[in-house]
Structure 1
């Protein structure tokens, strides 16, 4: 006997199955058809929830991004109220999410390339920038716009450093160094 799920519960089930598919087959192995098969539902159910593969990837990206952001927010709340500690927990949380959620990078790469997906990536990046800027603002004499720009740079560096030995320490140094006053 098949249990009928609410629309939201079914969506969550499908997204859980999508994460598992990306983890086992990579983002290229995730299609609406493979998702329907993996979730044990008919194709029309998957199409009804996501419409297109792009729609599926965007929703999956949003979900993974929200998990990542939630982990960073929790880490920042637990940090001692000192710049080095806040920078350290931001770096540690970022690197923990990268290692614990490898599917995030795969889905991020898969959503690149269309105006719709680029807009979603920009929206989510802006959310990280705001999160970081809010966490770091008490330790910075920079104006809000300058601080946000430095956070954009730090996030770009974080992505580049994610696969490098010593990357976490380098990221923390960049965060702290980016908030220090300029020397002439």
Structure 2
């Protein structure tokens, strides 16, 4: 902590973690992932370095916590989007496409930057596999009533849908595809993939 930083007020552990994550996200948004270290986070949040280390352990731990936080917020949004699932495949596909791209728009480019900063990190690879498996399972459940294939093939097609959504959202985040076009392309791909035997 530097001389101009006021001592941090006492907070409950969960509150402090939320404050640190908000500060970390601001750093990534303003300066990119390279600027994000536990020491700099502590300085910006007005806490001691041991507090930042106690919450996240390592820089990778902090980046993973940020990524999970983004994912958790998006999961809530997606669940709300699908509270009343439409009855036709075209409507379900359109809603998946719109919801997927909307999530990445609201998460912002920080989401892809955080993921890129963690490329090759074993813990992040495990977290990413778990999150992807959750998305695949969610979409499989939504699309199963319309599928003309068995469970194993549906699972593989949902893996492909998630991969396509990831690629399209990355292009959208970099400004190379409009959100509406990315959503429509993903919806068309879903409809064609699921309707085919």
TM-score scaled by structure 1?
A: 0.91
Name 2:4's counterpart in structure 1. Answer: none
Name 1:54's counterpart in structure 2. Answer: 60
Name 1:155's counterpart in structure 2. Answer: 162
Aligned-residue RMSD, C-alpha: 1.6
Please say which of residues 58-67 and 158-167 is displaced more in the overlay.
158-167
Q: How many pairs are equivalent?
A: 182
d(CA) in 2 for partners of 1:45 and 1:101?
26
d(CA) in 2 for partners of 1:81 and 1:16?
39
d(CA) in 2 for partners of 1:52 and 1:130?
31
Name 1:168's counterpart in structure 2. Answer: 183
Structure 2 unaligned spans of 5+: 1-6
Cα offset, 1:175, TM superposition: 0.7
d(CA) in 1 for partners of 2:45 and 2:87?
45
Give 1:111's match in structure 2, choosing from 112, 118, 121.
Answer: 118
Structure 1 unaligned spans of 5+: none
d(CA) in 2 for partners of 1:71 and 1:10?
24
Deviation digits for residues 19-56 of structure 1, max 9, x if unmatched? Answer: 12111112222111121122111111000110100111
d(CA) in 1 for partners of 2:84 and 2:39?
42
Q: Larger RCO: Structure 1 or Structure 2 (Cα < 8 Å, ≥ 6 residues apart)? A: 2
The answer on whether the counterparts of 2:140 and 2:158 sit within 8 Å (CA) in structure 1 is yes
Aligned: 1:23 with 2:51: no
Name 1:141's counterpart in structure 2. Answer: 148
Secondary structure at 1:142's aligned position in 2? coil
TM-score scaled by structure 2?
A: 0.86
Deviation digits for residues 58-117 of structure 1, max 9, x if unmatched? Answer: 111111111122212211224422211211111111111211212211111112212221
d(CA) in 2 for partners of 1:137 and 1:96?
23
Cα offset, 1:2, TM superposition: 4.8
